[in-house]
Amino acid sequence: VLDRDVLLVTDGHPAYRCFAREADISHEFVNLRAGERVRGAVHVQNVNAYHRRFRQWLAPFHGVASRYLPNYLGWQWALDGGRIATPERFLHCAIGVFNT
């Protein structure tokens, strides 16, 4: 569920335009083929960088089933950027102990 004031920023693939139209949300795109990555505040670099880091982190697992993808995304999000800095903290989060 997306707020109506959300802005979807993508490359120019038609599927994104169609989705934005059907979801009734704003859509801006940059032309990656023309080398455009940024247009003012509209850019895709953060998403591209996260996607690259996620693919690199996921490679040793040799892919995952689509049904488990949210779990792996959550795991990567927790590790990415040092949100969970120690193995002990990671274990506490994994078993649901958040008060340490």
Predicted local confidence at residue 1, as pLDDT: 67
Contacts of 72 (CB under 8 A, 6+ apart): 58, 61, 64
Predicted confidence at residue 3, as pLDDT, reads 79
| pLDDT score for 21 | 92
Domain span holding position 85 = 45-95
CB atoms within 10 A of CB 50: 15
First to last CA, the chain: 32
Kindly state whether residues 26 and 52 are assigned to the same domain. Answer: no
Q: How many Å apart are CA 75 and CA 69, to the nearest integer?
A: 10
Shared domain check, 29 and 53? no
What integer pLDDT is reported at residue 86 of this predicted model? 83
| CA–CA separation, 23 and 26 (whole Å) | 9
**Mean pLDDT of each 10-residue bin along the chain, 100 residues long:** 81 89 89 80 78 90 87 83 80 73
pLDDT for 43:
75
Number of domains in the chain: 2
Q: What is the pTM of this model?
A: 0.57
